[in-house]
A and B are shown apart, each in its own frame.
Chain A
């Protein structure tokens, strides 16, 4: 098995793990962590695409790698906004036990 196959399988596993955590964890910060796991799995997929694209004296295809760098920056910005939102929410509201579906009911009156 070459490194790109291993990394590809790792990426797929990370996406799966992240997806599991993202759906199941009620705590928003845990959801955010899981989201970041999915994100890094996706970046790894870009990584193996870049690695496979080695050609013309390059050991990698620079285009997908450049995209990953942009992606990491954007993902960090997303985390920062989410953290600020979570902290604000926890300061405004002592109850952070969000099962979001259960929480929104009083405010929007939707049925269960």
Chain B
């Protein structure tokens, strides 16, 4: 076991090196690719911090979905024009910024080393309370997300809806209502289609599995939803499914389903459990799973819509 610290240091150095390359790379596209690799590496750091739930999220979102988003964006920008006249900052500014960044990082590092010992923690409280309010959820993260901080979780889903509305608002007026066509430039190759056909059923199964086990083991609504989202993105890339029109009623309903069910349940909590956003203890687990199922749906729809971008002219022809 004595090899682990070296692995930790090696992993940390690798993460920092890839991050440094993301900042330093001259070409935009190289930087984007480097960032995607960075997101995947980061998932390992999270595993080492005993945070498998975060690792799953980071791998699915930080590496996967963000990767598709940035690579498509990088490709489009690269196809249009690279960064016009070279306005590279001067050496003086670089030096100044470098010193500033180093100061901030140094101050932060020293403060982190100064964090109090023994560390304060809500783990005992969470552990004590987990059976009362989290009602039989073996995964403390899911209990915290769905019970103690349910308000945050609902707001976060509304942030997603708002982000979708914000992305759509970047449409040209003429194209409003049409479907996005993010991948129109590339005709799908046979291997892409094959991959999508193979992955779609397996991935869907794994996504639902991750959501379902999330009640007791690492996983949960967000991670499961993100996997399903990734599957939909791949099928769209393979042109096995076309993105829907942004004014499709079912799409809008799917997007708000999660937060809406959450909100309605929060309101009824006042009458059935004595407080807004409270669950009646006897049926807390089924209710939480019920809400989470709708959140999976919303996430699985929202992430691909965020990646697909605004609707564009020339689609729907």
Contacts and interface: CB of A to CB of B under 8 A. Distances in A.
A89 to B, nearest CB: 9
B66 A76 contact: yes
A48 B4 CA distance: 17
Interface string B42-64: 10011011110110011001100
B49 A84 contact: no
Given A30-B28, A83-B69, A84-B167, A57 B127 contact: yes
A24 B62 CA distance: 23
Interface in A61-112: 61-63, 65-70, 72-74, 76-81, 83-88, 90-91, 94-97, 99, 102
Interface in A7-39: 7-21, 23-27, 29-30, 33-34, 36-37
Interface residues of A, number: 82
B223 to A, nearest CB: 8
A73 B156 contact: yes
Interface of B: 4-5, 8-9, 12, 15-16, 19-20, 22-23, 28, 31-32, 35, 38-39, 42, 45-46, 48-51, 53-54, 57-58, 61-62, 65-66, 69-70, 73-74, 76-77, 80-81, 83-85, 87-89, 93-94, 97-98, 100-102, 104-106, 108-109, 112-113, 115, 119-124, 126-128, 140-141, 143-145, 148-149, 152-153, 156, 159-160, 162-163, 166-167, 170, 222, 303, 306-307, 309-310
18 contacts: A1-B9, A2-B5, A6-B5, A10-B45, A20-B97, A26-B83, A27-B28, A29-B32, A29-B77, A40-B62, A44-B49, A50-B51, A54-B123, A68-B51, A73-B160, A80-B307, A87-B77, A91-B80
